[in-house]
Structures are given as C-alpha cells and as structure tokens.
A and B are shown apart, each in its own frame.
Chain A
C-alpha cells in the first residue's frame, strides 16, 4: 500500500479516488442547497406575498379572493377540522374544470397582494363615502360611475 492509498477515505480505492472526490463535492452542494431550500421556502414565499406588511391570514384571504374571483371571501382560521371543503358550493371561480382543471386567475407578482388589498380598501372607502354623502351634494353623478374601476 502506497502513501497515497493510505490517505484515501475509507472505502475509496485508488481507481475511484477522482470520481469519489467529485461525487462528494456534488452531493455536498446538493444537500446543503436542499437544507437551505427546506428552511427558506416558506419565509421567502411569505415575503414575496406581502408578509410582514400583511399577516399570514390576510395573505390567505387575498388568495381566497383571487382563487374564487370573489372579493367577499375571507380566510377562515382555524378552519373546522371536518368542515366542508373551502370551495364547496362556490359559483364564482373562473377556472376551466375537467380532468385537468386549468386555473383562470392571474399570477401573484412580488408583493402584489399588498397593492391588491390597498386598491380594494380604497375602492370600498370611496363607495362608503359616496353612500354616506347626502344625495343632494352630487345629483348629476350616479353611484355606479363614481365607484373606482374594477382592476
């Protein structure tokens, strides 16, 4: 046995020393990356969607509004364990159903839920102001035209 063979890791013969070195490097890169992915996927997605500006439940509520194309939907938390499916009985979703359902909602851009929520709150505030104001103050503008445009 030469000095070089003595320094090889256990189980590695001289013929496979080079291959084992590169396999080990590749495996270390992959395993470290997988641990980082496992640790960071949820926090990074939460930041993408709008946390900490929005709470996780507010993000969940925006998802429901998008998924079911219905601005009145709210995220129920904690959801009753044996309650009906979230989508049970809904009639508003735009998805194409079938063997492979195709989603009909728009993708969520970086921090897009925050803008979406602010736009909705502004719209609701405008409607509330309109209905609270005396009818005589704006007799020529109908409520429908004054409401902020949808999307």
Chain B
C-alpha cells in the first residue's frame, strides 16, 4: 500500500495532465489508473469486512461512520463509464 499509492498517484497525475491536454494516452492511462483505484477499493473493502471485529473494536460509529466517510471513494465507478463512452475522436495521438 505504501509503495503502491505514490506510484499510482504519480501515474494518475501525469495521465490527468495529458487528458486535459486532449492526448490519447492521457485518456488511456486515466482508464488504467481508474481500474487501479477499483482494485485498491475492493481490497480495502474486503479487509475492512473480514477483519471488522478488529478494525472497528474501539470505534464510536463503526458502520454508519464508515459509510459516511468512505462512500465518496466510489469515484472510479463513476469515471470509468464516462471514460468509456466519451467520444475518443477528439483526442490526438
């Protein structure tokens, strides 16, 4: 996790800059790093579910608080449908 996140975010920042410059590779790598985000999200949810008895042992709002805080991390689930349906002809190679 410690090694993965800086790598992923530097790739994603580069991809986002290229995406804003309407580069084709920026669009492609934004899709790829979105999938990284889904993988990280799935691993995190799995860990927090399987080890919930440990993770939330001393927490005041275990379930409601977790949902309130983490629901906003679904952004890759929204970005991927957009990136796959955007008209790719407008990006330059």
Residues of A within 8 A of B (CB): 10-13, 16, 19-20, 23-24, 26-27, 29-31, 33-34, 37, 100-103, 105-110
Taking the nearest CB of chain B, how far is it from the CB of A39, in angstroms?
A: 13
Interface size class of B (residues with CB under 8 A): 20 to 34
How many residue pairs between the two chains, A and B, have CB atoms under 8 Å in the bound complex? 57
The answer to whether the Cβ of B10 comes within 8 Å of any Cβ in the partner chain is no
Given A20-B85, A107-B60: A26 in contact with B78 (beta carbons within 8 A): yes
B87 CB contacts on chain A under 8 angstroms: 11-13
A101 CB contacts on chain B under 8 angstroms: 54
Q: Which of B1-9, B38-46, B69-77 contacts A (4 or more CB under 8 A)?
A: B69-77
Given A102-B53, A103-B58: A23 in contact with B75 (beta carbons within 8 A): no
The answer to whether the Cβ of B57 comes within 8 Å of any Cβ in the partner chain is yes
11 pairs, CB–CB < 8 Å, chain A vs chain B: A12-B87, A13-B85, A16-B86, A19-B82, A20-B86, A30-B73, A30-B75, A34-B72, A100-B51, A103-B54, A108-B58
